[in-house]
Amino acid sequence: MAIEQTLSLIKPDGVSRGLIGEVIKRFEAAGLKIRALKMVRLTQEHARVFYEVHQERPFYDSLTQFMSSGPIVAMILEGEDAIEVNRRLMGATDYRQADPGTIRADFARDIEANIVHGSDSPETAATEINFFFNALELM
């Protein structure tokens, strides 16, 4: 067990559907602390850099267009095993395979527009936190 930080995003569909409070409520109820938070709108170029790991995938253009289609909420979550805890609260990428009670099972109706993003390892968490937050915001 270790105290970790992870990057969480509420994607454009989560923001436009009025799910910011619902998602944050679940994080806090699970004991995750919000260490930084802001609303931003990515350009498609920003989204392409953020999702660079997926650049060879067939969904890359569509995904990066979607991620730049409206404002998103970026957060740093902190807690014991925060990366895994957040991934568990999110549920599987495909909402049809997500466990009942997870954010994606409860709210997503599309494999692309699936409400939330969460870092998947300590390495990606560090990279993704630095993508969204500068030194001042990291407190």
Contacts of 104 (CB under 8 A, 6+ apart): 90, 91, 92, 93, 95, 98, 114, 115, 116
Tell me which residue has tokens 């990515």: 42
The SS3 of residue 6 is: strand
Q: Which pair of tokens denotes residue 111?
A: 């494999």
Closer CB to ligand UDP, 76 or 98, in the complex:
98
Catalytic annotation present for 54: no
Count, residues near ligand UDP per rule CB under 6 A? 9
- Indicate which single residue of 30, 120, 122, 137 sits in contact with ligand UDP (rule: CB under 6 A): 120
Other residues' Cβ atoms within 10 Å of the Cβ of residue 131: 14
Q: The sheet that has 3-10: what strands, in order across it? A: 33-40, 72-80, 3-10, 116-118
- Judged by CB under 6 A, the stretch of 25-33, 69-77, 112-120, 130-138 that binds ligand UDP is 112-120
Contacts of 91 (CB under 8 A, 6+ apart): 98, 99, 102, 103, 104, 105
Q: Of 26, 48, 104, 117, which residue is the catalytic one?
A: 117
Lay out the site mask for Mg ion across 96-125 (x = CB under 5 A, - = otherwise): ------------------------x-----
- Judged by CB under 6 A, the stretch of 14-22, 28-36, 107-115, 129-137 that binds ligand UDP is 107-115
Active site residues: 117
Query: Can you give the binding site for Mg ion, defined by CB under 5 A?
Result: 120
Query: Can you give the binding site for ligand UDP, defined by CB under 6 A?
Result: 54, 59, 63, 93, 111-112, 114, 117, 120
